[in-house]
Each structure stands twice: as structure tokens, then as C-alpha cells.
Amino acid sequence: MNQSLTPAVEQVMRDAARLAVMPRFGTAGAALVADKREGNGGSEPVTAADRECEAILSERLAGLIPGAHVVGEEAVHHRPDLLDRLSAGTCWIVDPLDGTANFAAGTGPFGLLVALADNGIPVGGWILDPLSGRFCAALSGQGATIDGLAFRTAPAARARPVMAVTRLFPDSDRRARLLAELAEGAEVIDSPRCAADQYPRIAGGENDITLFTRTLPWDHAAGVLFLNEAGGRAARPDGTPYRCDDRREGLIAAVDPVIWDRTARQLESLGETLALTVEAA
């Protein structure tokens, strides 16, 4: 893939953040304008920043690769059939404002996520933190960068790894049991609902592992590619690679493959798949 794509995507994302996101941060313009209901009983807040930012990203990214589809989080809410485009050739995947609830509350973390997929496989991933200006990028087979500099993860070194666990478990008792088991060998913390924060945090060694249940493409495609290209590992609990068109749930992201394997074996021994809905035996 042409490396000139990254500076072009970076400019688009920084412009979208400058025009649609940051002018509203900490003001009345960050207020929620809608609340999307989800099939699992949860909800997703929406602000004017989500909508305007997605419109800017969608229009300008489409111009970078003529003929490429665009699948944005807000657009899919109104047209679920757009998800079919994830398997159809080249496709941009857009999360205009990950961590909307934090943004609306006037705090972080939040960020912009853009990925490029080829027939369902992530081949490009970009993450912008508008608060710090940090820009993470990865192209398939070409490594990862942070703010334009090549970046590699360092192996986990803590005796008790720091493990962030998503709060998106509809069964609170199930989550409590899992946390109790994991706490025997790890420092377990809550993972805020912001994948744009979690993937750079893992790569940088602030967290060693994060366990995700819901794995929507706009939340994870960019981060999975970035972490894998940086030397970490993100994959389904059974070891299969993440695909943007795979609607299964559950994902383990770790700073290095060794700790990923250890965590996957532990979850398997506990019978935990991280799926939000568990099939009856």
C-alpha cells in the first residue's frame, strides 16, 4: 500500500477534529442530541460532533480512493445494510467520535478512528487523539508509527500484568466472577468505552491486556491493525484473526504475543469466550 496515504488521512482527520469536534468540547455544543438503542439493551449516545465529523470524514476519505465504499457508525445506525459493504472490495470504516459519553461530559478519553479494509481484512488503521494531538498509524505489512516515528511495543515486564476489562457484560454476575478469577494473577481495572484510547495504551505498555466483548468494526479495525503491526497481538479468543465483516463477539488485545497466549489459555480454562450472548449447551 502506498505510504503517502497516511499523511493524506491524517490531514483529513485533523481537519475534521478541528472543524467538528474540538469547537464543541466543553461547551453546550457537546450535549447529546440522540441516544441509539442497541440490540443487547445498551445504548450509544450521539452528539452533533459525531454527525458533522462523520460527514466530513466520509466525503473527504471517499475522494482519496475513487470507488471505495464508506461505512460510518452513524450511517449504519440508519442503514444497517451498509455493513454488507465491509466484504465488498475496498472500504473505509469511520468512527467519527469514539468515547462520545466522555466527550459529552467534558472529559476524556475520546478520539477519531479510521480504517481501510480490503474484502473484510484491515489493511490501514489511523487513530487521532484530538486532546493531545497524538496520531497513530499502521499499514498492513509496513509497521506502525506514532506521530510519524516508527513504533514497536516492548514485552510485558510486570509480575502482575495490568488487565483492563470491558464493562459491556449484560450479566453483571458473570463479569464479577470473571474479574475475581483474573484478579488472582493480574491487576484488573475497568476499561472505559473508548477503543481509540485503549489500543495506544496497550501498545505503550500502560495496560498489558484489554478484554473486549463487543467488537464493532469502527471501534476495532484501526486499533487491531495498529497493535499487530507494532508487535503486539489482537485476535479473537480462539486465535483467529479479526475481520471487519465478522460479526462475532470477543477480542483479546495484548502488548505482546506471549501474554496474549497466556490470557487466552486462562479464559479457555474458565470457559469464557467474551461473547455477549452465550449459546445454550
Which tens digit of pLDDT belongs to each residue from 24-75? 999 988 888 877 655 444 567 899 999 999 999 999 999 999 999 999 999 9
3-state percent breakdown (helix, strand, coil) of the chain, nearest 5: 35, 25, 35
C-alpha cell at 37: 438503542
> What is the average per-residue pLDDT within 166-194?
92
The whole-number average pLDDT for the span 124-148 is 98
Domain 5-151 falls under CATH 3.30.540.10 = yes
Where does 162-270 sit in CATH, by number? 3.40.190.80
pTM given for the model: 0.94
Average confidence (pLDDT) over 183-204: 94
Q: Which of 38, 27, 13 is nearest to 111 (CA)?
A: 13
Provide CB contacts within 8 A for 10, sequence distance 6+.
126, 128, 135, 137
Report domain extents, the chain.
Answer: 5-151, 162-270
Q: Over the stretch 245-263, which tens digit does the pLDDT of each residue have?
A: 999 999 999 999 999 999 9
How far, in Å, CA of 191 to CA of 213, rounded? 11
- Angle of CA points 77, 117, 201, to nearest 5°: 80
Q: Which of 241, 12, 146 is nearest to 138 (CA)?
A: 146
Question: Does the pLDDT of residue 279 top 50, yes or no?
Answer: no
